[in-house]
Homo-oligomer: A and B are copies of this chain.
Amino acid sequence: MKSVSEVLPNMSYGGDYNPEQWSEDVWYEDARLMKQAGVNLVSVGIFSWAMLEREEGVFDFEWLDKILDILYDHGVNVCLATATASTPAWMAKKYPNSLAVDKHLVPYSIGSRQHYSPNSKDYIRHIRIIVRKLAERYKDHPGLKMWHINNEYACHVSECYSEESTVAFRDWLQKRYETIDELNDRWGTSFWSQRYNNWEEIELPRNPATFVNPGQKLDYKRFMDDAIFHLYKTEKAIVNEVTPDVPVFTNFMIDFKPLDYFKWAKELDVVTWDSYPDPRDGVPYTHAMWHDLMRSLKQGQPFFLMEQVTGQVNWRDINLLKKPNVMRLWSYSTVARGGDGIMFFQWRQSRAGAEKFHGAMIPHSGEESRIYQEVKQLGNELKKLDSVIGTRVPAKVGIVFDWENWWAIELEGKPNNNLDYLQQVQSYYKELYTRNISVEFVQAGDDLSKFEVVIAPMLYMVKPGDRENLESFVSRGGTLLVSYFSGIVDENDRIHLGGYASPLKKLLGISIEEFSPYAEGEKSYILQNSEKIECSVWTDIIHLEKAKALATFGKEWYKGMPAVTQNQFGQGKAIYVGTQPEPGYIGKLLETVTAEKGIKPLIAQTPPNVEVLERNSKEAKHVFILNHNENDIVVDMPTDKKYINLLTNEEVQASVQVKAVDVAILKAL
């Protein structure tokens, strides 16, 4: 199969296109405006099942034939959607078991979207039919460039408590554990009289009187993720069979907990995702992190931004409008972090329905609008970036990110139940982000050889092999930084006996006796070289074994005990941070450990809110300088190099000016 950058060798530009909402005369108008705006790719048919299969077994593809032809005639290719993201009304009526069921045992109602049960045999039987029909019909259409499977899997329904889901859960458990005794052991069912005699006794963690067995809850999350993944793989197998050369993907979402995207990405030909920063949050560093994560899911391979909005969304409480030029700047920030496609939801703003106030490339105010003018400008600029396609973002710092760890940390019954895994990861990521040090995300058991520094924030769950992998990374010279509440449980959320963090004990050179969380909002401090540093959230009671203390707690009964420690291990070193220090401290700590490894930003000094990123290949080296400020800036470039600014075609040397809310994309000469 060809790679995605071979199939789509130019920067892709477009959006979701839902022509079924409009009459045929609008289709020609759409095609004209797309061409004018530089659109070369659209996703078609995402919510068109009810139009394609009007009744069970009664298909109508003629309108779609026509759409694809009109688009192709105007130079617009398609990601063809499999249309399975929302089931038609006839299915709910005829097959009520196709509906997902909530915790109160109430089925979801139609009139919205994504109400199907991932475990419904009726649903699965029907997706097999419609997907094959689509694949067979369009396998030879020249405009078909990629398959867009379903849409935002699990966005609204990531849990289902139907009878079919119960049966499927039992089967899944039996496959995983083989014997009921093994399950009893893994879940610790001797606690609270929960022992099972056989698989049939097991129920979903649905309506418990109080805290649920955490092993059961964790496995339910795994099970639902697998069930939904099975839907994806089912569709993928069909389109692969019929159109073996067409790349396949589904679109991911930000901060999305229910699906283990590292697992999923293995089955995607290209990672794509939907990014909707809230304009009131300022520079969207959490989205930058997710761009980096998306790029990391396939070890650095470029991704597509599958959805963003031009103006404002409709699903927040108050939906602020992006100011002029912000959409363009954020689009380039996406490209800078590995995006090879910039797409929108949606092409033309709807007249009716739940999303009619969601912005679009053609807004309600039409062709003359500010919005469409910005869309057109960007689309025509992107044509200048062909050399960027397929290039990589270099990164020597790895950050461990693990979905199962996330699930386990945020189960109830913890010493501090406000712990937030994403926030913990972000508190380390952000300090590197503001310093323009690129990172890649990775799992603790993955190959770490490309990194000099690895950060493992709150690695609560240490799975088989993780210990050995991390020890090997450090012993060969790497620097590892681990934060508090790490090394606590195994893959079934059972305590690693032998004292807290026992799997990391040798590596970290410490033992941890107990935890003392701070009350909400409570502040304390640690001391390093007589400097007071604010800390909060958590205290570990740490005893040094072989490590030395970098900082100690400044008050309370554990005053003077280690707070931050460092241990020499083989050729490398392992740092442990036993509390939540203020951001500046984390920043300096990361500066020190990266500098020791020779890792530093391309441009030493930049004003705040300026991103500097590289995308390189053997053939081409690019520097992106993104100015999020409302004033112009001048940035000093390495004096020994010359660049061409791809957007302005000007030559750059020594320094470059970047206007307010603007970008410079420099290609090394």
By a beta-carbon cutoff of 8 Å, the part of chain A in contact with chain B is 18, 20-21, 47-51, 54-55, 83, 85-90, 92-93, 100, 102-115, 155-157, 187-197, 200-216, 280, 311-312, 314-321, 323-324, 350-357, 363-366, 369-371, 412-418, 492-495, 497, 499-500, 511-520, 541, 556-557
Contacts and interface: CB of A to CB of B under 8 A. Distances in A.
Q: How many copies does the complex hold?
A: 3
A312 B538 CA distance: 13
Contacts of A210: 112-114, 155-156, 354
Contacts of A413: 314-315, 354-357
Contact of A209 (B157, B280, B318): B157
B364 A500 contact: yes
A412 B430 CA distance: 34
B493 A352 contact: yes
B201 A92 contact: yes
17 contacts: A50-B193, A54-B195, A83-B193, A89-B197, A90-B197, A93-B201, A111-B194, A212-B354, A213-B353, A214-B354, A312-B516, A312-B517, A318-B416, A319-B416, A323-B557, A355-B413, A365-B511
A18 B108 contact: no
A90 B195 CA distance: 9
A270 B313 CA distance: 46
Nearest to A370: B513
Given A50-B189, A50-B193, A213-B354, 7 more contacts: A50-B190, A88-B195, A191-B354, A214-B356, A351-B497, A365-B499, A366-B499
B371 A193 contact: no
A444 to B, nearest CB: 21
A20 B189 CA distance: 10
Contacts of A90: 197, 201
Contact of A200 (B18, B93, B191, B211): B93
Given A47-B193, A202-B89, A108 B207 contact: yes
A47 B188 CA distance: 13
B104 A51 contact: no
Contact of A353 (B191, B196, B208): B191
A520 B318 contact: yes
A371 to B, nearest CB: 7
Nearest to A103: B106
Nearest to A366: B499
Contact of A207 (B102, B318, B323): B102
B514 A311 contact: yes
Nearest to A319: B415
Q: Which 9 A-B pairs give the minimum distances between C-beta atoms? A: A188-B352, A191-B353, A112-B208, A211-B354, A50-B195, A89-B201, A156-B209, A321-B516, A109-B206
Contacts of A18: 190-191
Contact of A314 (B190, B415, B513): B415
A517 B317 CA distance: 11
A105 B206 CA distance: 14
**Residue of A88, A92, A216, A352 ringed by the most chain B CB atoms within 10 A:** A352
Contact of A203 (B92, B197, B497): B92
A107 B209 CA distance: 10
A186 B369 CA distance: 27
Contacts of A47: 191-193
A502 to B, nearest CB: 9
A282 to B, nearest CB: 12
A517 B279 CA distance: 11
B111 A205 contact: yes
A415 B189 CA distance: 49
Contact of A49 (B103, B115, B193): B193
**Residue of A87, A204, A519 ringed by the most chain B CB atoms within 10 A:** A519
Contact of A191 (B83, B352, B357): B352
A323 B516 CA distance: 9
Contacts of A51: 190, 193, 195
Contacts of A499: 364-366
Contact of A517 (B191, B216, B321): B321
Contacts of A88: 193, 195
Nearest to A512: B365
B350 A188 contact: yes
Given A88-B195, A353-B192, A369-B514, A112 B209 contact: yes
A417 B352 contact: no
A495 to B, nearest CB: 5
Contacts of A323: 556-557
Nearest to A195: B50
Contacts of A107: 207
A159 to B, nearest CB: 11
B193 A354 contact: no
Contacts of A557: 323-324
Contacts of A518: 318, 320
A579 B376 CA distance: 30
Contacts of A492: 352
Given A110-B194, A193-B49, A514 B188 contact: no
B193 A111 contact: no
A4 to B, nearest CB: 27
A187 B364 CA distance: 18
A189 B311 CA distance: 24
A197 B55 contact: yes
Contacts of A206: 109
Contacts of A157: 209
A316 B157 CA distance: 29
B364 A497 contact: yes
A196 to B, nearest CB: 5
A358 to B, nearest CB: 8
Given A93-B201, A350-B188, A314 B414 contact: yes
Contacts of A316: 417
A366 B511 CA distance: 12
Contacts of A112: 192, 208-213
A500 B365 contact: yes
